[in-house]
Amino acid sequence: MNRRRTEIAVIGVLIVGVIVYGAAGLILSATRVANAERTLNAVVSHQNTLNSTFSDINTQLSQLSGSSAFNPDQAVILVDKSVSNSEVATKTIEDDDASLASASSQLGSTRWLTLVGQSSLDRESARIRHARNALAAARTIAADEVQDGHFWHSLYAGLGDLTKLLSENYANNLTDAKTTLGTMKTDIDSAAQLSAAPGLPVALHDLMVDMQVFVSDFGKQLDAKAAGDDASAATYQDAITADLQKISGGYDFDKIGADITAFYKPLLDRFNGEIAAATS
């Protein structure tokens, strides 16, 4: 009889233990899911801001192809703002990814305690994976935009130098013209080196090469004028005119913009698609 009572008591203890274990597991699972959900919602709330930043991809190009008069100084300001926004976006992405990684780790720890609520934990883990996949795409876009922005900065700075150069009466002031040309050479050489940045079509590198040819021809003309060699100066003037015509009319900036958009579209689609999966 005593033995039977003991067995019953043991069974009772086991039953209570199972109930307590199940309740504790459900509570712990619910707490972890709630914490992960808060983290995920915070990350998703940044989607619109990131998309707004990514929409600046073609802002730089629109400065060249827009209907309004080109203002190189204003273009540089806009590009620098775009680069700054992309750098801020990069930090946001890294912080968000670290938060998601921490939340994911918490969801998967001490699984023996949360077997009862494992299905909800698994669903939340899957959503976090989608969110981190979205951030991986966003990280690439933001990093590429920073590189592209540095290219546009150098290009627009060079075009500003060109505008100044063509407005100067260098026939009477060769020294100032050479100074401006030297600055332009630095800017265009920098743009040429940066023209291989992700998403930039080959046409932009070709444009930089043509601008380098212009800088070279213009420098030769200035040297000829300084030496009093009017015949050579006139020959170089013909070359300069041809260079400017090629630079201003030899490139389809609408196509260049379309090529840039096409490059980024898969990444943008992946970002938004993964965010959608994370919130479903």
pLDDT of residue 242: 95
Rounded mean pLDDT, 62-88: 78
With a cut of 60, say whether residue 174 has pLDDT above it. Answer: yes
Of 57-66, 164-173, 188-197, the range with the highest mean pLDDT is 188-197
Residue 254, pLDDT score: 83
At 79, the pLDDT band (50, 70, 90 cuts) reads confident
Please state, rounded to an integer, the average pLDDT across all residues of the chain: 79
Instruction: Please name the residues in contact with 165: beta carbons below 8 A apart, sequence gap of 6 or more.
Output: 177, 180, 181, 184, 218
pLDDT of residue 189: 98
What whole-number distance in Å separates Cα of residue 105 and Cα of residue 155?
A: 45
pLDDT score recorded for residue 246 = 92
Q: In the predicted model, is pLDDT for residue 60 greater than 80?
A: no
The pLDDT confidence band at residue 12, using thresholds 50, 70 and 90, is: very low
Binning pLDDT at 50, 70 and 90, where does residue 33 land? low
pLDDT of res. 47: 76
Mean per-residue pLDDT for 123-147? 88
pLDDT at 55: 75
Q: What is the DSSP letter of 265?
A: H
Q: Are 279 and 135 in contact (CB under 8 A)?
A: no
For tokens 């990514």, the residue is 54
Token pair of 6 as six digits: 């003991």
Decide if pLDDT at 4 tops 70: no
pLDDT at 169 over 80: no
pLDDT: which is higher, 6 or 272: 272
pLDDT for 65? 59
The more confident residue out of 137 and 30 is: 137
pLDDT at 108: 56
> Which one of 32-36, 194-198, 261-265, 272-276 scores highest in mean pLDDT?
194-198
The model's pLDDT over 222-231, given as tens digits with 9 standing for 90+, comes to 999 989 999 9
In the chain, the amino acid numbered 179 is T
How many C-beta atoms surround the C-beta of residue 280 within 10 A? 8
241 band by pLDDT with thresholds 50, 70 and 90? very high
Q: Which amino acid is it at 86?
A: S
Confidence of residue 35 (pLDDT cuts 50, 70, 90): low
CB 243, CB 102: distance < 8 Å: no
